[in-house]
């Protein structure tokens, strides 16, 4: 199932500004990853898709840093999804 990032909620109030050690982008600032995608240095498909669960009718994810990147891309326009 594909969902627009704007339809998915974070699982917590704050997130780290760097990707965790267990990711391909370990230690990289999430803003730098966003910039790299926009500048064409990295492709959105290089970012692992996020896992989402529907809880009480609301889609949530624990993949908050990746969701932040996807939400910003959606705001900027390069990402489009069918609902």
Over the stretch 35-80, which tens digit does the pLDDT of each residue have? 999 888 988 888 889 999 999 999 999 999 999 999 999 998 855 5
pLDDT (0 to 100) of residue 59:
97
Residue 83: is its pLDDT beyond 60? no
Binned at pLDDT 50, 70 and 90, residue 27 comes out as confident
DSSP secondary structure of the chain: ----GGGEEESSS---SB--TTSTTTT-BHHHHHHHHHTTSS-GGGSPPPP-EEETTEEEES-HHHHHHHHHHHHHSS-----
Binned at pLDDT 50, 70 and 90, residue 82 comes out as very low
């Amino acid at each position: 199932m594909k969902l627009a990032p704007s339809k998915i909620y974070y699982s917590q109030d704050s997130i780290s500004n760097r990707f965790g050690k267990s990711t391909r982008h370990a230690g990289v600032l999430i803003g730098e990853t966003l910039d790299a995608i926009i500048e064409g240095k990295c492709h959105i498909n290089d970012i692992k898709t996020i896992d989402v669960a529907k809880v009480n009718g609301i889609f949530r994810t624990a993949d908050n840093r990746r969701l932040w990147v996807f939400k910003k891309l959606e705001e900027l326009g390069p990402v489009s999804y069918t609902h």
